[in-house]
Amino acid sequence: MKKILEVTDLCKTYVINKRQNNVLRNVSFSVNEGEMVAVMGPSGSGKSTLLYTVSGMDSMTAGKSVFNGQDISRLRPDALAELRLLEMGFIFQQMYMLKNLSVLDNILLPARQSKKNTLSPKEKLEYGKELMRKLGIIEIADNDINEVSGGQLQRACICRSMINNPKMIFADEPTGALNRSSSDEVMDELCKLNSEGTTIMLVTHDAKVAARCSRVLYIVDGNIKGEYNNTEADVRRRERALNNWLLEMGW
């Protein structure tokens, strides 16, 4: 199976008041095409920093992150920005959208920004609407972002992450600000995208969310301490088995 992301000896150090804070320490792992991988760990363990660094949203101190054959640490800033815009999708816990645009216009924004998206303006519009229909939110296309629920807005963020047909989605606590019902709906949609071939890497503190993923990486103090493969077909058994493993890891 082809590796879409290969991370080797990744380090990230912040210097605050002349003191070094080693957030990531020689982290190595890979993600295959079509996988759905969760990253878990205690607060402050480096989960979000890992996600931002491997995707090029934050710079690395040392090591390599090779995405789809390209070492992102060697790319010029403009080339890296274009790579993120075209080949990566991003979903965050805080649903960043522009207040002066409708929900649909927010979804279309990355497609309109990309110089390499060859669709016509009309085709982009129709594809944005198609994504909204697929995720069951077409009725809020013309709404302002403060006129919709949190679950609807997060599904709109998923649409936006998919508008340029990325090879991989990076999600930082995508259900963290949602209630259980909305969280389940959002995970249903992410699992559907994954079943259709989209690779996903997400950070979560929720074992029920992680149990929906094919693999879980457990990070402590900037190091990956363990890896768990979800092999159970039954959802409840998956959750129970994962919870037992997390307890063994010190969760």
Residues of the chain with pLDDT under 70: none
Which residues are paired to 12 by β-bridges?
A: 24
Whose structure tokens read 């959750």?
239
- Please give the helix or strand (H or E) that residue 15 lies within, else none: strand 3-16
Q: How many CB atoms lie within 10 A of CB 248?
A: 11
Q: What distance in Å separates the CA atoms of residue 57 and residue 53, rounded to the nearest whole number?
A: 6
What torsion do the CA atoms of 53, 59, 64, 65 make, to the nearest 10 degrees?
Answer: 40
Amino acid type, 185: E
The pTM (predicted TM-score) of the whole model is 0.93
Query: Which of these, 217, 213, 205, 202, lies nearest to 157 by C-alpha position?
Result: 202
* Tokens matching residue 84: 């993120």
- Please give the helix or strand (H or E) that residue 227 lies within, else none: strand 223-229
Q: Any idea what DSSP says for residue 231?
A: -
What is the pLDDT at residue 29?
Answer: 97
Domain residues for the domain of 156 are: 3-249
Q: What distance in Å separates the CA atoms of residue 97 and residue 181, rounded to the nearest whole number?
A: 22
What is the pLDDT at residue 130?
Answer: 95
Largest interatomic CA distance in the chain: 53
- Please give the helix or strand (H or E) that residue 192 lies within, else none: helix 180-195
What is the pLDDT at residue 113?
Answer: 85
Q: Outline where DSSP puts E strands in 72-195.
A: 88-92, 168-172
The domain spanning residue 245 has which CATH number? 3.40.50.300
The number of folded domains in the chain is 1
CA atoms within 13 A on the CB side of 83: 19
What is the pLDDT at residue 231?
Answer: 86
Query: Which of these, 6, 71, 18, 47, lies nearest to 204 by C-alpha position?
Result: 47
What is the pLDDT at residue 177?
Answer: 83
